[in-house]
Chain A
C-alpha cells in the first residue's frame, strides 16, 4: 500500500519538476504575496498623515501610528499565506488530473493493482505537501524580511498564538481542500484552465476573511481559529468522499471526458 502511494507520489513530483509552468507558478505566487505585504507596509505609512486612519491591531499598545498601521497590514499576512496553498495546490491538482486525462493514462493505470483510493491519496499528498511547505517557507521569508527591514519589534504582535495556529492548522486544511476541489473540477473539465476556475471557490472565502479582519468585525482569536480549522477539516472529509466517488474506476472510464 505505502509502496504504491509512494510510487504515485514520486511520479507526480517528477512530472511537476519537469513542468516549468507549474514550478514557476508555485514560486512566483508566494513571492508576489510576500513582496506585496512588505511593500505595502513600507510604502503606505509614508503617505498617511499621523492618526489619519486610527486603525491598529488589538493589543498593539505603545506603537507609533506608522507601526500600528504597518502592523495592521502585516498581521493580515497569515491570511495571505492561506492563498498560497489554495492557489498552488489547485494548480498541482488540475495539472495532475488533466494531464492524465489528456494523455489517456488513467485507464491503463486502473488496469494495474493500484486501488483508486491509493491513487487519489498519492495525488492529494503530492499536491498538498509541496503547497503546505511553500506556504510555510513563504511565512519564514516574510518573518525574515520583517526582521531585516527593522520591524522586528512588531513580530511578537504578528506571530501570535492564533497566527501560528492558522499557519499550522488552517494551511494544511486549505491545501487539502484546494487540491480536492481541483480533482473534482478536473473530473469534469477537459483542460487545466477550466478546471482551475474552481479555485475561486477556495480563494474567495479567504479574501472574505481578510476583509472581515480589516474592518475589525471579527478578530481571529486562538479559539476561533481552532473552530475554523475544525470546520475546514470536516469540509475536507466531505470533499474527499465526494472526490473519491468521482475518482472511482467506473466514473473515470465512463463519465470523465
Chain B
C-alpha cells in the first residue's frame, strides 16, 4: 500500500531524510520512531504529497504523491502534528468543510458517523474553541477518517494528551487496525509504538532498523539475568566479575544487578551458586529482557556514533 524507494529530502544544506526505502502492506500498522529532527514528519508529508522529495519516490496505492497529490489525498487520511481547527466554528461545521473537498462523500452522513466514532456526537454543535486538547485530537482523527480512507498517516497522535485521552485514542487506532486500515504512525512513545504496531521503523534521517517489536528486542544482544538481593558490596561484585562466564554487568540499582552471561541458560545456576557462596542474600532471579526502549536507545546511539 505504501512504498518508498530511496526517498530523500533536503532543506537547503540540511538533509532531513536520506535514502529511505520501505514497504508497508495492506492492513499493516508501522510505527515510525526517532528523535526530534529525525525526519518523521518530513517522511509523512512526502508520502502525503504535501512536500515533494528531493530525490527518490514514494508510492501510495501505486500513485506517486509528487505527481498526483489530489488522487493520493482521496485515498489517505492524514492526522497532522497539530490538530488545527477553525475555533469559531462548531465541530460539525469544521468536519463538513473538510468533507466537502472529497468526491462522492455524503457530507452529512459522513460527519455524523465520524463524530460518533470518536465519541463527540454530543458536542457536535459546540465551537471547537471550547474543546480540550484531547477532544481536538479526537476530532482531528475524525477529520482524517471523514472520507473513509484505507490508508492513514498519523503524526504523533497522542502527543500532549493526558493518559486517559491517549488511551482512548489508542483504542480508536486499534479499532481501525481491526477494520483493516493500513497505518503509518509517527510517535515518540515507545510503549505506544509497541502496542499498536506490527512493525517498527527506527528513523534517524536514514532508516536505522525496520522489524517487528519482538525481533527488534531480541536481535541485538542475548538477554542476561537480573538478580535482586538484599545488599551488594564491591567485594562480591569483583568476585563475580572475575568468573569467566560473566561478560559484564550493570547496577546495582535498587538492589538489582543485570548480568550479561556467555550462555544465559547454562550459566545461570553457576552464577546463583557463586553468589550464594560469597554470601549474597538473593531475593529474586529473572531472565532480563531488553525493552524496546533499550533497543531504541542503543540503535540511536550507534547511529549518532
Give the interface centre of B93, B98, B103 by most chain A CB atoms within 10 Å. Answer: B98
Are the C-beta atoms of B51 and A111 separated by less than 8 Å?
A: no
B-contacting residues of A (Cβ < 8 Å)?
Answer: 3-4, 7, 11, 14-15, 18-19, 99, 103-115, 249-250, 253-254
Are the C-beta atoms of A11 and B80 separated by less than 8 Å?
A: no
Interchain residue pairs A-B with the least CB separation, the first 8: A104-B84, A111-B78, A112-B101, A104-B82, A105-B84, A7-B100, A113-B73, A113-B70
Are the C-beta atoms of A105 and B85 separated by less than 8 Å?
A: yes
Give complex CA distance A157, B89 in Å: 48
Q: Could you show 17 A-B contacts with beta carbons less than 8 Å apart?
A: A7-B97, A11-B97, A15-B89, A18-B88, A105-B84, A105-B85, A107-B50, A107-B82, A108-B143, A112-B102, A113-B101, A113-B102, A113-B103, A249-B69, A250-B52, A253-B50, A254-B11
Chain B: which residue is nearest A14 at the CB level? B89
Are the C-beta atoms of B85 and A103 separated by less than 8 Å?
A: yes
List 16 additional A-B contacts (Cβ < 8 Å) besides A110-B50, A249-B49.
A3-B100, A4-B101, A7-B97, A7-B100, A104-B84, A106-B84, A107-B84, A108-B98, A108-B140, A108-B143, A111-B50, A111-B76, A111-B80, A112-B102, A113-B70, A113-B71
- Chain B residues positioned under 8 Å from A99 (CB to CB): 86
Are the C-beta atoms of B50 and A249 separated by less than 8 Å?
A: yes
Give complex CA distance A110, B153 in Å: 14
Are the C-beta atoms of B51 and A14 separated by less than 8 Å?
A: no
A-contacting residues of B (Cβ < 8 Å)?
Answer: 11, 45, 48-52, 69-71, 73-74, 76, 78, 80, 82-89, 93, 97-98, 100-103, 140, 143
- Chain B residues positioned under 8 Å from A108 (CB to CB): 78, 80, 83-84, 98, 140, 143
Are the C-beta atoms of B51 and A253 separated by less than 8 Å?
A: yes
Chain A: which residue is nearest B74 at the CB level? A113
Give complex CA distance A229, B86 in Å: 37
- Chain B residues positioned under 8 Å from A109 (CB to CB): 98
Please give the distance in Å from A44's CB to the nearest CB on chain B.
Answer: 44
Give complex CA distance A3, B100 in Å: 8
Known: A15-B86, A19-B88. A7 touches B101 (CB 8 A): yes
Chain B: which residue is nearest A109 at the CB level? B98
